[in-house]
Structure 1
């Protein structure tokens, strides 16, 4: 049985269900025809992630989501298949672990010291494939994943500045609010010192998602035992599982997942539009892990007090409570401006 997901942020609690739904509707209006072309990627859950990423600023959220939709139309990331990236995967530099954390979240293992190619384009393509695969395999009540970053064998020569910059851009711009926690395992000590220097300039919600763990530090190792089943966690991360990355078995798993992705898309589904299940999340017990492991757990209020579109959907439907609707046709000036901006952006990307 998995632990309950972290509680919503205080900023989210400050908005009522009606206010949140109104903002979601306003963002959808700003998307114009893009929302009609990619309706599955403009679900309430998807828009909500972009609003959270931009602190509920409708204009900034709409612009961010527009860029994502344009990118998906152009690059079609959901159509990348194992045979397209197999050469990038040979060393296991990124792979989805065959276990979940105690919250039931998918785990992506990243090993930058195992870099085996020099093409930034190919590396980004494989990263996107892994992200799409991890999202596909999220449980019905989950939206986020955990990254386990192993620095074994890492040197400055392992890192391409161009690829690193593009990696950060893709993850921040096209997959907002997908990271629950990033664990840097045995990183060079200077990393942690540098993080303390830049802390005042980094969004605190993001900063709290990054944890430094060292194999020779019992206190930091507690993060691993609190977050993972130690019997399933690989030994390289302090667990009891002696099985490392096996390329052949992983390849078979990815081929099966590719079939699942194709079936899912052919059925009219969308990876990004998967809505978490309210009932399954309510049935989970109280979390027993350290509050430091959940970026939203600093709030003292119980999760039942959180007013969000998903958590109040059942309650409000029973009360016949209709959220305020935004009439897109009545906001002609705003819509015209948004369409003009979209045309400029599309022309620049052509």
Structure 2
């Protein structure tokens, strides 16, 4: 049986260093929001999922992001509290999506036309908590300017890029949605719905927090539509000011240029 630990500091407060004994560090084998399972049992569960996928979904691709990708299998097991029955259908959906989008083949060149809009990018520096930062400038997104599939590809590429910057011991990234200059013509419920699904279905437990920065009045109706879709993830969202971003998430040297003035 797995025993779940959910250790999450209050949003909007600094993480404080806490002295822990070597013994307590050994007990917390897996990190925040995961369950403690003995290593030998974890391997057995990974093998069980892999064999189940081969037997029941043998048309799924193999290799990185495929049905035999043990790192991905392990992550989805953690997400589903090490339940094989719960992990398999979610993993199957994720593998199919990654194959359809071509996640393993995405590159700077393949997403260049959308990336050049500057509407989304991965920040060069980590925040003060050691998290890679994915920034979205909502005022630069115009529905229909690019195909939905192109926006999906850019999103997948940037999430993968952010995850590749994770330091040892870190598992989650920070999302910043810069809403300065947001207008009704920037509203794209279809894409927002996709992003919510992406972090729930395809990259579960990879998003530590989302900052909605300087949300204008016209964003309120959008939020009322989107909030119910977040389900249990809504506590991850924090509405804040530019000043909060400056003071609570970055140093002078690591602050994104867009938040310097």
Give TM-score scaled by structure 2 length. Answer: 0.70
Is the partner of 1:83 in helix, strand or coil?
A: coil
- Does the CA contact (< 8 Å) of 1:78 and 1:132 recur in 2? no
- Which residue of structure 1 lines up, in the alignment, with residue 210 of structure 2? 182
Is the partner of 2:247 in helix, strand or coil?
A: helix
Selected match of 2:63 from 20, 38, 57: 38
- Does the CA contact (< 8 Å) of 1:108 and 1:134 recur in 2? yes
1:74 to 1:121, Cα distance in 2 relative to 1, 3 A: closer
Q: C-alpha displacement at 1:96, in angstroms?
A: 0.8
- Does the CA contact (< 8 Å) of 2:214 and 2:241 recur in 1? yes
**1:1-350 to 2 correspondences below 5 Å:** 8-9=31-32, 12-13=35-36, 15-17=37-39, 19-32=41-54, 33=58, 37-38=62-63, 42-116=68-142, 117-188=145-216, 190=220, 194=224, 198=228, 202-203=231-232, 206-215=233-242, 221=244, 225-234=247-256, 236-237=258-259, 241=260
* Residues in 1 aligned to 2:82 and 2:222: alpha-carbon distance in whole angstroms: 30
1:17 to 1:35, Cα distance in 2 relative to 1, 3 A: farther
Structure 1 unaligned spans of 5+: 243-350
* Residues in 1 aligned to 2:136 and 2:188: alpha-carbon distance in whole angstroms: 15
1:87 to 1:58, Cα distance in 2 relative to 1, 3 A: same
Larger gyration radius, structure 1 or structure 2 = 1
1:39 to 1:234, Cα distance in 2 relative to 1, 3 A: closer
- Cα-Cα RMSD: 3.5
1:212 to 1:153, Cα distance in 2 relative to 1, 3 A: same
Number of residue pairs the alignment of both structures matches: 227
Q: C-alpha displacement at 1:181, in angstroms?
A: 1.6
- Does the CA contact (< 8 Å) of 2:64 and 2:104 recur in 1? no
1:18 to 1:55, Cα distance in 2 relative to 1, 3 A: same
Q: Which has the higher contact order (CA 8 A, sep 6+)?
A: 1
- Cα deviations across residues 261-309 of structure 1 (Å, max 9, x unaligned)? xxxxxxxxxxxxxxxxxxxxxxxxxxxxxxxxxxxxxxxxxxxxxxxxx
1:211 to 1:45, Cα distance in 2 relative to 1, 3 A: farther
Going by fraction, where is helix more abundant, 1 or 2?
1
- Does the CA contact (< 8 Å) of 2:172 and 2:208 recur in 1? yes
Is the partner of 1:148 in helix, strand or coil?
A: strand
Q: C-alpha displacement at 1:130, in angstroms?
A: 1.4
1:36 to 1:120, Cα distance in 2 relative to 1, 3 A: closer
* Residues in 1 aligned to 2:81 and 2:48: alpha-carbon distance in whole angstroms: 15
Give TM-score scaled by structure 1 length. Answer: 0.54
* Residues in 1 aligned to 2:112 and 2:165: alpha-carbon distance in whole angstroms: 19
Is the partner of 2:121 in helix, strand or coil?
A: strand
* Residues in 2 aligned to 1:89 and 1:110: alpha-carbon distance in whole angstroms: 11
Q: C-alpha displacement at 1:140, in angstroms?
A: 4.1
